[in-house]
A = this chain, B = another copy of it.
Amino acid sequence: MNDRAYALFEERQRDRGIDLGKVKDKLKALKIETPSWGYGDSGTRFKVFKQTGIPRNPFEKFEDAAQVHKLTGLCPSVAIHIPWDKVEDYDKLKQHAAELGLSIGAVNPNLFQEDEYIFGSVCNSDPAVRRKATDHLLECVDIAKTVGSEALSLWFADGTNYPGQADIRKRKGWMQEALTEMYNAMTPNMRMLIEYKFFEPAFYHTDLADWGMAFNMANKLGPQAEVLVDTGHHAQGTNVEHIVAYLLDEQKLGGFHFNSRKYADDDLIVGAHNPYELFLIFYQILDASLDADAGVRKTADNIAYMIDQSHAIEPKIPAMIRSVLNVHTQYAKALLVNHEEVREAQSKQDVLGAEQAVREAYEQDVAPLLLALREEAGLPADPMKAYLQSGYGESILSRGKGGASW
């Protein structure tokens, strides 16, 4: 049936003025990084429900990640979190990854799980704690060098819970000091991706609370520093795709932590809630990549797409497959926007026409296209089904309960 479906799809897109060859090239180039910690136990403050079969160490996390890549063909790299993924021999981890067909992606320092960080890490008023935190940042640069990673992905839990608790302006300066030191330690091929967050775990002020603070910091540091957008880290109502377009225009969009949310930083499977938003983010990126301006194009083509979710009740590997496929789907739909049509309607201030031209792409069913692509690449038609039938899920049960968690 898919042959007919694909033929019809092709015909329809041709009629819509879409060059499917280019669409497929773009889709083949799509890479989505999965996070090592996405394979471990996680949950809420109320309870982490431990699952059976959770990887017990970084090596096993890469094995699980390899399953996702094997079945989807989309996830050749895996982000690591230090010290969760601390190993004695990083070369060995790198080689293990390579044998699984993977590379090590962004290195994520962890500055929120040691007792010293109760009042902050790089923003702590205690210089010894700031030193420790900065040293950890430098350690992560070293690890990145060792494992061949070009991205350092920074999220800070730093903030306060009460008015007056700390000096907001001093903390701002301290963070800049620490990041400057880290920035100077990076090699020229490295990028520092600076994440911001509206709130949690800090409930009064968060030192990097929004894109503006991350952007300003990146501007001060230099061209190798960019902003990381976590799709769940905004106030309710925030137009995330606007921020994306803005950062693209400023050539400061470094990448994404993908997940979905309905309330706060819910960290659910990306695209599960309000999938249209994910589509619109890609629409902005693809629109920017069309523009003649070389600088903008460079940024739009160099965005790190990374999953960052906290699966509280889902089986880990299937949840990750679902996340990856959701991104795949929305990206494919965004590629079906006829930008000329949109722009012409925009130039005529035709509100309904322009809106419809964008929305029409979203309404397309891209299943025949994605299926065709998977067939071409020798991938299973239905990665989720293939996983469930593969026996892998059962094979890892022998790991027992109590694997890696955070």
Contact = CB atoms under 8 A, between A and B. Distances in A.
Given A44-B45, A315-B352, A212 B209 contact: no
Q: How often does this chain occur in the complex, in copies?
A: 4
Interface in A39-67: 42-47, 49-50
Most chain B CB within a 10 A radius of its CB, from A1, A45, A215, A329: A45
B12 A1 contact: yes
Contact of A46 (B113, B162, B275): B113
A49 to B, nearest CB: 5
A194 interface: no
Given A312-B161, A313-B118, A349-B119, A203 B261 contact: yes
A331 interface: no
Given A113-B47, A349-B126, A280 B199 contact: no
A313 B209 CA distance: 20
Contacts of A199: 237, 262-264, 266
A42 to B, nearest CB: 8
A52 to B, nearest CB: 11
B169 A288 contact: yes
Most chain B CB within a 10 A radius of its CB, from A5, A47, A318, A342: A47
A198 B242 CA distance: 12
A187 interface: no
B354 A164 contact: yes
Interface string A11-28: 110010000000000000
Interface stretch (A86-94, A139-147, A177-185, A360-368): A360-368
A44 B200 contact: yes
A12 to B, nearest CB: 7
A262 to B, nearest CB: 6
B112 A47 contact: yes
Interface string A256-295: 0000011110101100111111001001100110010000
A381 interface: no
A314 interface: yes
A236 B237 contact: yes
A135 interface: no
Interface in A154-176: 157, 161-169, 172-173
A5 B71 CA distance: 30
B351 A314 contact: yes
A322 B200 contact: no
Given A239-B205, A346-B165, A46 B112 contact: yes
A133 interface: no
A8 interface: yes
Q: Which 10 A-B pairs have the closest CB atoms?
A: A212-B212, A164-B358, A235-B235, A236-B236, A365-B365, A44-B201, A203-B266, A162-B355, A199-B263, A168-B245
18 contacts: A1-B11, A1-B15, A46-B200, A125-B346, A162-B269, A163-B359, A164-B355, A166-B354, A167-B343, A173-B249, A199-B237, A203-B262, A210-B212, A212-B216, A216-B250, A235-B236, A236-B236, A275-B276
Given A1-B15, A161-B314, A216-B250, 11 more contacts: A4-B8, A163-B280, A163-B359, A164-B358, A166-B354, A168-B246, A203-B263, A203-B268, A234-B235, A274-B277, A322-B352
Interface of A: 1, 4-5, 8, 11-12, 15, 42-47, 49-50, 112-113, 115, 117-119, 125-126, 157, 161-169, 172-173, 198-201, 203-205, 209-213, 215-216, 234-239, 241-242, 245-246, 248-250, 261-264, 266, 268-269, 272-277, 280, 283-284, 287-288, 291, 310, 312-315, 318-319, 322, 329, 342-343, 346-347, 349, 351-352, 354-359, 363-365, 367, 384, 406
